[in-house]
Amino acid sequence: MKPSPNLGPIGRAAAFAPSNIALTKYWGKRNSRINLPLSSSISVTLSELGSFTIVEPQADLRQDVMLVDDKPLDDAGLVKVRRVLDEIRAMSGSSLYAGLRSVNTVAAAQGMASSASAFAALATAASAAYGLRLDSAALSRLARTGSGSASRSIDGGYVLWQRGEKDDGSDSFATQRFAADHWPMRILIAHASGGRKSVSSTLGMAQSKTDSLLFRSWIERCDHDVVALENAIENKDFSTFADLVEGNALAMHGTMLAGQPALLYWRPVTLAVIAAVRELRKDGAECCFTIDAGASVVILCSPQDARPVSEVLSEIDGIEQVIQTRIGPGARLVEAPGGLPHA
């Protein structure tokens, strides 16, 4: 790639990026090197919960170094981080390595993936640190090369990640479809106690693609669900929204279960939350669930139902904590604090 004509100065930059929750899931890649999906997906961007990252290109470094929550990042993580940084260096024409420091306000141990917010914060901070001024489509593509779901954390509100057709991924990025205030839902994260997930999303979706009998029909279903869900959100039609969001998550888990070996992320508490949410909905509460690659359950509900639903879920055996949040804005640059981001 040619250096951009629109270069600013190189220096320390910091960004905050929120996490996001997929309403129709990304589970299957057509290219695993640059994370091109087999289907489009829709998500909501969370307010508050996310990652804060500082990047500083430095002349005296012999390689990129990174601390995440005060610990050196492992080799597998560094490979992905370098992929994003290498692309940024190619665009900026700089060969400097960088010191990076990242802090998650949502710990992976709380049952939520931090890779979406981590790579969205990295793309936002690092492109600014290397003097690039990129639009949100370009930032989304960059974040995607670190982790697919990170493409959806650049913009806020209700976000659509287009699958794209091209082999170079230039048309596979996410954009906002509706602002948060179009339909201001609350999000409850019912965190299941017990260890972290055993199989990463990256590995799990690769397994489903090669081993699951249901994989082809899963992808067909996603193509349908994305269009139908966008309409339901536009029309604020909760009943259709709930059917699609729950159905899509259950179909993803069904696809995992139909793999050989079967992939099961649920624990008994996962089913207990599903049953409680269905019961609450039958009794008139506007709430529905979705589940990522783990045992925790995320509930979307109307603002007036958030408190009573949260109270019911907190009482369930095996639920460690119910975190309540809302839909918020996307990744943004923030002021970099003092202190060098040396590892």
Q: Please select the residue that binds ligand DP6; options are 17, 54, 55, 113, rule is CB under 6 A.
A: 113
Tokens, residue 271: 């089913």
Report the site for ligand DP6 in 126-155 (rule: CB under 6 A): 147-149
Stretch that binds ligand DP6, among 22-30, 168-176, 212-220, 314-322 (CB under 6 A): 22-30
Which of 161, 156, 124, 162 shows the shortest CA–CA distance to 143? 124
Going across the sheet that includes 297-301, the strands are 287-290, 297-301, 186-192, 319-326
User: Rule CB under 6 A: is residue 115 a binding residue for ligand DP6?
Assistant: yes
Stretch that binds ligand DP6, among 24-32, 100-108, 173-181, 276-284 (CB under 6 A): 24-32
Residue 130 or 265 having the CB closest to ligand DP6: 265
* Interface size with ligand DP6, residues (CB under 6 A): 15
Say how far apart CA 116 and CA 25 lie, in whole Å: 13
Q: Please select the residue that binds ligand DP6; options are 19, 53, 201, 296, rule is CB under 6 A.
A: 201
User: Rule CB under 6 A: is residue 162 a binding residue for ligand DP6?
Assistant: no
User: Rule CB under 6 A: is residue 35 a binding residue for ligand DP6?
Assistant: yes
Say how far apart CA 335 and CA 343 lie, in whole Å: 20
**Which long-range contacts (C-beta less than 8 Å, at least 24 apart) are formed by 281-285?**
281/242, 285/309
User: Rule CB under 6 A: is residue 189 a binding residue for ligand DP6?
Assistant: no
What is the Cα gyration radius of the chain? 20
Say how far apart CA 204 and CA 93 lie, in whole Å: 36
Stretch that binds ligand DP6, among 19-27, 95-103, 184-192, 221-229 (CB under 6 A): 19-27
Q: Please select the residue that binds ligand DP6; options are 10, 14, 15, 22, rule is CB under 6 A.
A: 22
Q: What are phi and psi of 98, to 5 degrees?
A: -130, 150
Residue 12 or 141 having the CB closest to ligand DP6: 141
Cβ neighbourhood burial of 335 (10 Å; 0-12, 13-18, 19+): exposed
Give the x-and-dash track for 285-314 against ligand DP6 (CB under 6 A).
-------xx---------------------
Alpha carbon distances (Å) from 81 to 3, 176, 195, 233: 20, 25, 25, 34
Inter-residue contact 150 to 117 (CB < 8 Å): yes
Say how far apart CA 217 and CA 96 lie, in whole Å: 46
User: Rule CB under 6 A: is residue 26 a binding residue for ligand DP6?
Assistant: yes
Residue 75 or 335 having the CB closest to ligand DP6: 75
Residue 34 or 336 having the CB closest to ligand DP6: 34
User: Rule CB under 6 A: is residue 51 a binding residue for ligand DP6?
Assistant: no
User: Rule CB under 6 A: is residue 255 a binding residue for ligand DP6?
Assistant: no
Tokens, residue 331: 């990744």
Residues that bind ligand DP6 (CB under 6 A): 22, 25-27, 35, 41, 113, 115, 147-149, 201-202, 292-293
